[in-house]
Structure 1
Amino acid sequence: MFKRSFRSLMVLLFASILVLSACSGGSQSGSSDKGEKELTFMFRAGTDEAKAYKSVIKQFEEDNPGVKVNVVITSADQYATKLKAAITGKRVPDVFYIAPGEVRSYVHSNILLDLTKYIEKNDKIKLDNIWEYGVDSYRFDGKIQGKGDIYAMPKDVGPFALGYNKTMFEEAGIPLPDKDKPYTWDEFINVCKALTKDTDGDGKIDQYGTGFNINWVLQAFVWSNGADFLDKTQTKVTVNTPEFAEALQWFADQQNVYKITPSIEDSQTLDTYQRWMKGQLAFFPVAPWDLATFDKELDFDYDVIPFPAGKTGKPATWVGTLGIGVSKTTKYPELATELVYYLTASEDGQQKLVDARIQIPNLKDMAQEWAADTSTRPANKEEYLQIVEDYGRPLPANYTYNGEWYDYFFANVQPVLDGKKTADEYVKEVQPKMQELLDKAIELENQAQ
């Protein structure tokens, strides 16, 4: 109880710091010794993404003489900490990445500039040609996220598809998956069993059907089985249903019953991502941000399909996104919004990012052309568009004030994965604790308002 109370106090304290920092002003825009207008853009990126963004920024500077963009790049695991430090230190970047789950607190804390009027004045920004899911993720009317004013533009949308090792299927003489019809759970297990093998005859399994990370794939199985983490009001945790427990148990049984995924001991010597890269897994999730790395390092052919479907018979998965927002204290709101346009909605900028193989195009018409090109892997890129347009969903904590309630589920699920506790026992046990954390998040938001 003390730990939970202390954590809630710290969350409230941080929210207060954000409010005080925002009210006291401060950003990193200004003028250089040469009389240039300066903007600071802070983001996280790997090598390929950083190179692509620098190219877009260079074009922005060339098209806007007298403007200098100072780039601050961090690793993914350091970004949130460094951004919060910049905010509390009254050095808010003019332009920066923001996740959907941060929109509510950053709006309440006066960190984010409302971009709506700047977007409406910029006739180059065609919202009807940008994925609705991406734009709506950064809308907020003060109460409901997904509606109202726009506080960021989508850097990207990230549909999470299921990849499969096409070469492994062909060598085993197993029919390739149907890209238009998802496996049932039983069909998926049977295929995985057929592809789980001791390939070198040493008595140890070295090729598996799959090796999923529960944090990133359980949602697909839960949703396709007719269950969810929250009700429609986003105020009640709903993990304690038979359909949810069935999906969680099926996931755990992949290791404990069907033996189609590496054990914990096996994963300690070689994790499942490394096994996929070495061609030792039949199935593994593949997102657009993986494509550049897979182009360079995979020596087998692969493609993407829907995740296997539960009792609804329909596939499900999530769509990620990051946004690019503007500080409310920037000295140059029009210029900062123009930079956001270059990074999120300009044809030239999008083409540079797509050519770098780090995302699908934000622009719908460009995305259709991208998906139609079957000469680059994966051939079934159309699956990504179907996820964004049709059956993909936001992650459960995207639209709540914080994600502590959601994180609690995954932080304590290991006994189910180890076979020491049934899924039914776990969901009944964990739901009240998750609800308590969600109630506290709602209370914190009310206090922030």
Structure 2
Amino acid sequence: MKKILMALAGAAMCLSAAFSEELTLMIYAQPQEKAILDKVIARFEQTHKGTKVKFISSTQNEYGAKIQAQLAANNLPDVFYLGPGEVRQYVDNRKVLDLSPYVKSVSGVNFADLYESAVDTYRYDGKELGKGEAIWALPKDFGPFALAYNKTLFEKYKVPLPSKDTPYTWQEFIDVCEKLTRDNNGDGQNDVFGTGLNIHWAFIQFVWGNGADFLDSTHTKVTVSDPKFVEALQYWANMTLGNSQYPVAGLSKFRPVTPTATQAQSLDTYQRWIKGELAFFPAGPWDLAKFNDPEVIKFEYDLIPWPVHTSANQTATYRGGVGYAVAATSKNPQLAAELALYLSADEEANKMYSDMDLQIPNLKSLASRYTSKPGKPANRQEYINIISKTGRSWPSDYTYNSVWYDKFYMGIQRVLDGKLSAKDYCTKIQPQMQRELDKALQRARQSAARNKK
């Protein structure tokens, strides 16, 4: 018995020596993603002898509460997800590690192959997001939001297909939407629509497409009362109301091109798109796996740029995702930083993500492989264009919190219902948003001051 116990003790010591370093990775992942990550982790452990990665995966809904609990206990995992909008708080409170000294020369992965715009999303110089040399996370993904159109509807009603390169103007977009908004069964209610867009996810593209924004260039002043912003909001509302009660100057009179509020309650716009009842709908790379299932979508579709007010304006949409951050308390920062880079830039993993339509590959060298994939959508290049040229960050990413931004949407339904003009609403809500932004700016200053001590 004594010999057996000694042998077991020796084996335990050998095992402990074999795994002299343990890293904890805590993220959320779909089953397909987790299967890929397991392979990446196995490669990392193989190339980093003596290292064991403890992989803790949760659902996306559970992740926020779990990571906040770890944060409160000052027990963050070595590597975890950090969104761009969280960078300032985590950095100012010294919770994450600057990865720039660690990741630029790691064997087996190529930091330089990551999209610069994706890496820049996680730069922060203590004053402004996107600035400075310090890198506080590495992209897990970088998801652009393009505008999809139902090609089958266009062909059915003999409407010319849109350009894959030149965006519609607002007038052109409405003209096409009117042609594709139809009452096919003659019951007096439209059952096919030009579009149906969620204001939280697809309004800002029209603001940017009119040369306006929620904030000024210093990210300290709320600019929703800017006439160009007001114009974009009224145009948005008029897609449901029609351009008569509160007409947008310079545009012809047009009828509603979206489902009514009652119709939207009975069937949301996502389901209408799936059923083939919408001509236009936003599509992220994360949607493609489902959209390309022939049992889900039975029509042809493709991607185009977002509309602009006039041809002189620039199309834009948001791009974002989450990144792999390393806790400042990690006992082995070099090893943890290398794991973050492996998870972000491992070539085989990026190929698998792309092949399964889970995300666009993070690596520039795989762009042509992604855009040349057979099947729908044919114009995958639009996603690459957004990543490299026309994508922007959410306005709230530049501020300490999103309370001021969320304030805008709290009373927006009155505008969408035609009970209040966009001008009156924006004039009223601007000072309220500014007060919340001022509070956030003050908190940011206090946090930055603590960080300097």
Q: TM-score, normalised by structure 1?
A: 0.89
- Could you say what secondary structure the match of 2:104 adopts? helix
Cα distance, 1:441 vs structure 2: 0.6
Q: Which residue of 2 aligns with 1:389?
A: 388
- Could you say what secondary structure the match of 1:397 adopts? helix
Q: Which residue of 2 aligns with 1:361?
A: 361
Matched, 1:157 2:142: yes
Q: Which residue of 1 aligns with 2:314?
A: 314
Q: Which one-letter code corresponds to 2:382 in the other structure?
A: E
Structure 1 237/294 Cα, relative in aligned 2: closer, same or farther at 3 Å?
Answer: same
Residues in 2 aligned to 1:207 and 1:63: alpha-carbon distance in whole angstroms: 56
Residues in 1 aligned to 2:31 and 2:181: alpha-carbon distance in whole angstroms: 35
Structure 1 123/58 Cα, relative in aligned 2: closer, same or farther at 3 Å?
Answer: closer
**The one of 45, 48, 73 aligned to 1:89:** 73
Residues in 1 aligned to 2:219 and 2:422: alpha-carbon distance in whole angstroms: 23
Residues in 2 aligned to 1:397 and 1:86: alpha-carbon distance in whole angstroms: 24
**The one of 22, 25, 30 aligned to 1:46:** 30
Aligned residues: 418
Preserved contact between residue 158 and residue 359 of structure 1 (Cα < 8 Å) = yes
Preserved contact between residue 177 and residue 194 of structure 2 (Cα < 8 Å) = yes
Q: Which one-letter code corresponds to 1:215 in the other structure?
A: H
Q: Which residue of 2 aligns with 1:9?
A: none
Matched, 1:131 2:99: no
5+ long unaligned stretches in structure 2: 1-11, 243-254, 449-453
- Could you say what secondary structure the match of 1:113 adopts? coil
Residues in 2 aligned to 1:265 and 1:54: alpha-carbon distance in whole angstroms: 46
Residues in 2 aligned to 1:327 and 1:357: alpha-carbon distance in whole angstroms: 30
Structure 1 54/343 Cα, relative in aligned 2: closer, same or farther at 3 Å?
Answer: same
- Could you say what secondary structure the match of 1:87 adopts? helix
Q: Which deviates more from structure 2 when the two are superposed, residues 305-314 or residues 212-221?
A: 305-314
Instruction: Give matches, 1:57-76, under 5 Å.
Output: 57-76=41-60
Cα distance, 1:269 vs structure 2: 1.6
Q: Which one-letter code corresponds to 2:87 in the other structure?
A: V
Q: Which has the larger radius of gyration?
A: 2
Residues in 2 aligned to 1:412 and 1:73: alpha-carbon distance in whole angstroms: 37
Preserved contact between residue 114 and residue 345 of structure 2 (Cα < 8 Å) = yes
Preserved contact between residue 350 and residue 362 of structure 2 (Cα < 8 Å) = yes
Q: Which deviates more from structure 2 when the two are superposed, residues 327-336 or residues 282-291?
A: 327-336
Structure 1 173/240 Cα, relative in aligned 2: closer, same or farther at 3 Å?
Answer: same
**The one of 276, 283, 290 aligned to 1:286:** 283
Matched, 1:335 2:335: yes
- Could you say what secondary structure the match of 2:231 adopts? helix
Matched, 1:295 2:292: yes
Matched, 1:102 2:86: yes
- Per-residue CA distance 1:329-350 (angstroms, 9 max, x = gap): 1122222222212211121221
Cα distance, 1:288 vs structure 2: 0.9
- Per-residue CA distance 1:369-410 (angstroms, 9 max, x = gap): 31133x132110111111121121111111111111111111
Residues in 2 aligned to 1:77 and 1:308: alpha-carbon distance in whole angstroms: 33
Q: Which deviates more from structure 2 when the two are superposed, residues 41-50 or residues 430-439?
A: 41-50
Q: Which residue of 1 aligns with 2:349?
A: 349
Q: Which deviates more from structure 2 when the two are superposed, residues 329-338 or residues 210-219?
A: 329-338
Residues in 1 aligned to 2:38 and 2:268: alpha-carbon distance in whole angstroms: 33
**The one of 52, 64, 68 aligned to 1:80:** 64
Q: Which one-letter code corresponds to 1:304 in the other structure?
A: L
Matched, 1:231 2:216: yes
Q: Which one-letter code corresponds to 1:329 in the other structure?
A: T
Residues in 2 aligned to 1:197 and 1:155: alpha-carbon distance in whole angstroms: 42
Cα distance, 1:61 vs structure 2: 3.2
Q: Which residue of 2 aligns with 1:250?
A: 235
Structure 1 416/63 Cα, relative in aligned 2: closer, same or farther at 3 Å?
Answer: same
Residues in 1 aligned to 2:402 and 2:201: alpha-carbon distance in whole angstroms: 15
Q: Which one-letter code corresponds to 2:267 in the other structure?
A: L
Q: Which one-letter code corresponds to 1:237 in the other structure?
A: V
**The one of 273, 285, 301 aligned to 2:270:** 273
Preserved contact between residue 342 and residue 349 of structure 1 (Cα < 8 Å) = no
Cα distance, 1:356 vs structure 2: 2.2
Structure 1 442/124 Cα, relative in aligned 2: closer, same or farther at 3 Å?
Answer: farther
Q: Which one-letter code corresponds to 1:70 in the other structure?
A: K
- Could you say what secondary structure the match of 2:103 adopts? helix
Preserved contact between residue 61 and residue 67 of structure 1 (Cα < 8 Å) = yes
Preserved contact between residue 230 and residue 236 of structure 1 (Cα < 8 Å) = yes
Structure 1 57/101 Cα, relative in aligned 2: closer, same or farther at 3 Å?
Answer: same
Q: Which deviates more from structure 2 when the two are superposed, residues 61-70 or residues 201-210?
A: 61-70
Preserved contact between residue 222 and residue 430 of structure 2 (Cα < 8 Å) = yes
Q: Which one-letter code corresponds to 1:213 in the other structure?
A: N
**The one of 177, 184, 187 aligned to 1:192:** 177
Cα distance, 1:48 vs structure 2: 3.3
Residues in 2 aligned to 1:418 and 1:226: alpha-carbon distance in whole angstroms: 25
Cα distance, 1:124 vs structure 2: 5.0
Preserved contact between residue 134 and residue 321 of structure 1 (Cα < 8 Å) = no
Residues in 1 aligned to 2:285 and 2:98: alpha-carbon distance in whole angstroms: 29
Residues in 1 aligned to 2:30 and 2:104: alpha-carbon distance in whole angstroms: 32
Preserved contact between residue 214 and residue 224 of structure 2 (Cα < 8 Å) = yes
- Could you say what secondary structure the match of 1:190 adopts? helix
- Could you say what secondary structure the match of 2:221 adopts? coil
- Per-residue CA distance 1:304-362 (angstroms, 9 max, x = gap): 00111113433121111311101111122222222212211121221122122111111
Residues in 1 aligned to 2:59 and 2:260: alpha-carbon distance in whole angstroms: 30
Structure 1 245/68 Cα, relative in aligned 2: closer, same or farther at 3 Å?
Answer: same
Preserved contact between residue 104 and residue 111 of structure 2 (Cα < 8 Å) = no
Preserved contact between residue 43 and residue 74 of structure 1 (Cα < 8 Å) = yes
Preserved contact between residue 119 and residue 125 of structure 1 (Cα < 8 Å) = no
TM-align CA RMSD: 1.9
Q: Which one-letter code corresponds to 2:283 in the other structure?
A: V
- Per-residue CA distance 1:73-97 (angstroms, 9 max, x = gap): 2333332222111111233111111
Structure 1 70/298 Cα, relative in aligned 2: closer, same or farther at 3 Å?
Answer: farther
Preserved contact between residue 104 and residue 112 of structure 2 (Cα < 8 Å) = no
Cα distance, 1:138 vs structure 2: 0.8
Preserved contact between residue 210 and residue 282 of structure 1 (Cα < 8 Å) = yes
- Per-residue CA distance 1:265-323 (angstroms, 9 max, x = gap): 21222111111111111100011111112122222111100111113433121111311
Q: TM-score, normalised by structure 2?
A: 0.88
Residues in 2 aligned to 1:104 and 1:300: alpha-carbon distance in whole angstroms: 43
- Could you say what secondary structure the match of 2:256 adopts? coil
